[in-house]
Amino acid sequence: MAEELTSEQVVELRAALLVERSRLEELLNLSADGSLPVKLDTSIGRLSRMDAIQQQEMTRASRLTLDTKRRQIEASLVALEKGGFGECRLCDEPIGYARLKARPEAPFCLRCQDARER
Ligand SMILES: [Zn+2]
């Protein structure tokens, strides 16, 4: 079973969450234009319009991933304030520093994450 976090580890993970949140917000702002609907009356050729639509779908998919991660980060920051940070949201066991260092926004312990993905 993973160990509880020390206060130094919590400080470090909070800093990592804040850095990651501003990075994600920047990426989401940068890609905001790319997810607007492709105008069908634009005087670009049929092929480049298909390119544009495909590009737009990729942008939308990656924005969704980024947005999900940002929500997890927000939830982790709330948990840092209110308590419960570093605890698995399914089984309440400590998630563990090693895992949180790699993914400070991780909502579940490895065991529960594995079980969910199966
Ligand atoms: Zn768990």
End-to-end Cα spacing for the chain: 21
Q: How far is the CA of 87 from the centre of ligand 1 (A)?
A: 8
Q: How many CB atoms lie within 10 A of CB 23?
A: 14
Give the C-alpha separation, 99 to 65, whole Å.
Answer: 19
Q: How far is the CA of 56 from the centre of ligand 1 (A)?
A: 36
Residue 101: CB partners within 8 Å, gap ≥ 6? 12, 13, 16
Q: How far is the CA of 40 from the centre of ligand 1 (A)?
A: 48
If one compares 33 and 26, the residue with the highest pLDDT of the two is 26
Q: With pLDDT > 90 as the criterion, what percentage of the chain qualifies?
A: 68
Q: Which two tokens stand for residue 56?
A: 């737009």
- In this prediction, residue 93 carries a pLDDT of 95
